[in-house]
Structure 1
């Protein structure tokens, strides 16, 4: 089943903007700072955090920066830097100390639950009627190198993936970009990449024979396959499924 969380959050984001604009056009008084650019940064930060279960720190940095400039706009005419800036530093420090476990631990626990589910399944189904591929996927040991994790907020990164047992991953680009090279990677069957691109872009380099299936929710953006087209002579058994949200950004596939 396709993950619909990206569609829901993108829809709420657009509905919120539309509602505020409509209320203003009907003459309802709204504070001047409501439409300040820093508030959109806060909303985008919360959006990115919710999409990734608030596991990385990029969303918090965006909320922190947006909050600083929003407070300055609200208390225009007062020098807030002597108070707000130290508070922001305290909040950032506390977040780094108390932030949730890393993504790798989250995935490791998820893999552990799959192993427990497999053991429970074996106890009630000793004949093992599921396919061998599903059994191996459930029983497989967790390896962090088999997952892609690329977080790009106000910056960029370039990664070459060498895993021969790729399991999928998460790619985030907010006001930045991420380049992922999968030409040295391999996997069996299909993998799922969860992409969040907001005012940013993601470029993924894959072999020309791999299949690409997009299940992305795109708003003022999209997924573009710019690979060279080869004759369908070679059997294709690799499928990359792209899910997530693209908002004022894009995902681009290329091959060498």
Structure 2
């Protein structure tokens, strides 16, 4: 017998999307049949945004920032929907976090681009 440890199976984006759709469909079916208790927040639009963010991260090997944005936005919406008066704290913290991320990202790139001028005598 021969094993293919060195050649892992590669999944493309369509395969991952299909797997996610099958999981979502299975959760919806279980919820409709009342087989198990599934919390309401688990099957909601903020969780769909979070799942899509994870999908986008996996699709681009977590190199593009869009997955972070989607997960943060979905989490903020999930918290404000399920915790009383959370919107008073969550959205200002999200805005502060966004500003801090922008400052840190731009200051890091600015330091990379700066070079001391060299003068020839």
For normalisation by structure 1, the TM-score amounts to 0.33
1:91 to partner: Cα distance = 4.1
Q: Distance in 2 between matches of 1:5 and 1:98?
A: 33
1:95 to partner: Cα distance = 4.9
1:43 to partner: Cα distance = 0.8
Q: Distance in 1 between matches of 2:72 and 2:19?
A: 21
SS of corresponding position for 2:92: helix
Q: Distance in 2 between matches of 1:26 and 1:40?
A: 21
Question: Any idea what the Cα deviations from partners look like across 1:157-200, whole Å, max 9, x if unmatched?
Answer: xxxxxxxxxxxxxxxxxxxxxxxxxxxxxxxxxxxxxxxxxxxx
1:44 to partner: Cα distance = 0.8
Matched, 1:5 2:3: no
Listed as ranges, the matches of 1:115-126 within 5 Å are none
Residue from 50, 54, 57 that aligns with 2:58: 50
* Equivalent residue number for residue 7 of structure 2: none
1:53 to partner: Cα distance = 1.3
Question: Any idea what the Cα deviations from partners look like across 1:46-65, whole Å, max 9, x if unmatched?
Answer: 11111111212222212121
* Equivalent residue number for residue 64 of structure 1: 72
Listed as ranges, the matches of 1:170-181 within 5 Å are none
Q: Distance in 1 between matches of 2:48 and 2:39?
A: 15
Q: Distance in 2 between matches of 1:35 and 1:50?
A: 21
Question: Any idea what the Cα deviations from partners look like across 1:126-167, whole Å, max 9, x if unmatched?
Answer: xxxxxxxxxxxxxxxxxxxxxxxxxxxxxxxxxxxxxxxxxx
Q: Distance in 2 between matches of 1:16 and 1:98?
A: 37
Deviating above 4 A after TM superposition, structure 1's stretches of 4 or more consecutive aligned residues are 93-99
More helix by percentage: 2
More strand by percentage: 1
- Specify every segment of 5 or more residues in structure 2 that has no aligned partner in the other structure, as ranges: 1-9, 106-121
> Aligned residues, how many?
95
Q: Distance in 1 between matches of 2:66 and 2:97?
A: 14
Structure 1 vs Structure 2 CA RMSD: 2.4
* Equivalent residue number for residue 86 of structure 2: 80
Q: 1:53 to 1:62 in 2, by over 3 A?
A: same
For normalisation by structure 2, the TM-score amounts to 0.64
* Equivalent residue number for residue 23 of structure 1: 30
